[in-house]
A and B are shown apart, each in its own frame.
Chain A
Amino acid sequence: MARGTSTSRLVYLAVFAALLALTVVTVLVSYVDLGLGNVVVALLIASVKASLVALFFMHLKGESRLMWGFALIPIVFLSLIIFGTLVDTMLR
């Protein structure tokens, strides 16, 4: 178990600042019409934010490979259900 240190508190604040900044960016970008680009940018920014939360707030950084597996494998199955359903609904 990592002990709480002032370093980790600084890291948390830095991550928080990044999350706020990214939120501002994603909101601003949404006012610009980029067509399909809006979707890509929005999801990309969301994924960066999610990664920051997972890595630093949820302490995935520094966790065992087992924990990483438990964190990432559900996403694989999520992709599966989305993809499998779309292969049907988009191509009828």
Chain B
Amino acid sequence: MATGSRRRETAMSVPATEHHDPAVAFEAAKLGVWTFLATEVLLFGALFTAYTVFRMKYPEMFRVEHAKLDRVLGAVNTVVLITSSLVVVLGVDAIKRGKARLLEAYFGATILLAGVFLCVKYAEYAAKFHHGLYPRTNLFFSLYFVMTGLHGIHVLAGMGLLSYVIVLSRRGRLSEAWHTPAEMSGLYWHFVDLVWIYLFPLLYLIG
């Protein structure tokens, strides 16, 4: 398949070359992931909207109910996720230097940290249920369970994604020259961290 002739750049933008040009493919993948993250902003965004509406409608109820959440556990989870973000980006950095085994170690650690996060969440949920606090109990806990629940599903999906990257690396498919799946998974993982960075203060800290 022949490529086109020389490109001419214009004020509007650079026209692209063929589908299989690796540089274009990488930029396309990045654009695709950021577009997907845009959809996630709106997905969680609707829940943030519901949160804002009900917080402004029932400030007293929120103040009372939010105190029932364990700030320390929430902070622990925040630290866990922030650490996992660091570990992920170190993993991507590793494969950029061609170090596949290091990537696998870092991504494995990320998955472990994600597991810790989910365990803490499980403990929190169990404690809430034990105290008779369910999604149906009141609007605060409806929001708490739905928002952290949806976030938790995203953590789980992220663990799957990172595992897949590890599998790819074990099969020798990732290298200094090509490691797009690692970098793209990293972007997704940081977004999961980003959502929690907002969820934590909104649910646990604001009185």
Q: Which residues of A contact B (CB under 8 A)?
A: 1-4, 8-9, 12-13, 15-16, 19-20, 23, 26-27, 30, 33, 38-39, 42-43, 45-46, 49-50, 53-54, 57-58, 66-67, 70-71, 73-75, 77-78, 81-82, 85-86, 89-90
Contact = CB atoms under 8 A, between A and B. Distances in A.
Interface class of chain A by DSSP: helix
Contacts of A13: 86
A46 B41 contact: no
A11 B201 CA distance: 26
B194 A86 contact: no
B26 A1 contact: yes
Contact of B193 (A1, A2, A53, A73): A53
Interface stretch (B3-11, B48-56, B131-139, B160-168): B48-56
B78 interface: yes
Interface in B27-53: 30-31, 34-35, 37-38, 41-42, 45-46, 48-49, 52-53
Contacts of A20: 79, 82
A66 B53 contact: no
B169 to A, nearest CB: 15
